[in-house]
């Protein structure tokens, strides 16, 4: 006997639930609301944050690398 053969009252009650079908009108309204919200977001700021963060990380990494090299050489 496997676990699939065991009678489970929760699974039986779930199997009796009706299958829901999406309402096309409600889906269209929700899609329109989401697109309206997305249109309000400033697109130019979203594009600049990634490259600025990458550039900041590179600057910090190069400064730490220079610090380690100078400390290794005994100049710092």
Please, which residues have CB within 8 angstroms of residue 67's CB and are 6 or more apart in sequence?
76
- Domain range for residue 48? 3-73
The whole model's pTM is what? 0.38
Predicted confidence at residue 34, as pLDDT, reads 94
* Number of domains the chain contains: 1
Instruction: For residue 39, give the 3-state DSSP assignment.
Output: helix
Residues of the chain scoring pLDDT < 50? 1
Predicted confidence at residue 1, as pLDDT, reads 47
Chain segment 41-55, per-residue pLDDT in tens: 776 655 667 788 899
Predicted confidence at residue 5, as pLDDT, reads 63
For every residue of 37-76, DSSP letters joined together read: HHHHS-HHHHHHHHHHHHHHHHHHHHHHHHHHHHHHHT--
């Amino acid at each position: 006997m496997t676990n699939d053969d065991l009678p489970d009252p929760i699974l039986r009650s779930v199997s009796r639930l009706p299958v829901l079908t999406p309402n096309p009108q409600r889906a269209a309204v929700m899609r329109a609301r989401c697109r309206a919200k997305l249109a309000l977001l400033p697109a130019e700021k979203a594009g600049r944050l990634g490259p600025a963060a990458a550039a900041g990380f590179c600057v910090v990494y190069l400064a730490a690398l220079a610090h380690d090299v100078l400390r290794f050489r005994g100049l710092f």
